[in-house]
Amino acid sequence: MSVAWRRSKIEPAHQDLSIAMQCRLLSISRSSYYYTPVPETDETLALMTVIDETFMEYPWYGSRQMARHLRRLGHAIGRRRVRRLMAKMGLAAIYQRPRTSDPHPEHRIYPYLLRNLEITRPNHVWCADVTYLPMRRGFLYLVAIMDWASRKVLAWRLSNTMDAGFCVEALEEALARFGKPDIFNTDQGSQFTSNAFTGVCAQPRSRSAWTAGDAGWTMSSSNGSGGL
């Protein structure tokens, strides 16, 4: 519950509980109860107008680029202040993000098996997903394999490319350490439907039903696995 909501529950005229006691019970400080928000100064409002106008022209500017731009215009301002003002205005840089779940047109699409399924034990269902970590120059891609019931991360890998190799490495580690699940659920990203990834399950030790449907465990595919 937010501080504002808890502050609204304090009753200054309460007969038995002082304001200090009510603050302790609601886990807020007395200073936050008495705090009155200070409106932005005219100077800051003018600066926010400049930020808004600049963002309309350069919507890919983040706080770092915006701070540099404002300093070129003669404003003495640091990145932290720009970041605070942009967050207050609801401005976030617009740029093309990596597409981590594109299916391959020639790869098999697996059915979704989790609808109305009650998952109550470890190794019943695993899931995997790929996300990206923005860096100063480019991205790193993170794959994580999780047990659905326990939410335990079984294995993970980082890569600077979106090939299937780092996903295969994570899968092999998870299988070696924790055995095999009954169902493995992923999205339809080409990394997970590739021959390299599904081929791991054709090895005798994994007894996968991905390739033959005659043993072990089954591949489930969805628009999003919910793994990350």
Q: What is the pLDDT along the chain (228 residues), one digit of tens a residue?
A: 677 788 888 888 888 899 899 888 888 888 888 877 777 788 888 899 999 899 888 888 889 999 999 999 999 999 999 999 988 887 888 665 555 455 545 555 666 777 888 888 998 888 888 887 766 655 678 899 999 999 999 999 998 877 788 888 998 999 899 988 888 888 767 777 777 877 776 565 433 333 323 334 555 555 544 333
Output the CA torsion sign for 159, 200, 189, 104.
positive
* Longest pairwise C-alpha distance within the chain: 74
Per-domain boundaries in the chain: 3-34, 42-89, 125-221
Is the overall model pTM greater than 0.75, yes or no?
A: no
- Residues 103 and 106: their CA atoms lie apart, in Å, by 9
Cβ-contact 189, 180 below 8 angstroms: no
Per-residue DSSP letter, 37: P
For the chain, the C-alpha Rg in angstroms (whole number) is 26
Q: Considering only the top CATH level, what class is 125-221?
A: alpha beta
Residue 166 CA to its chain's centroid (Å): 19
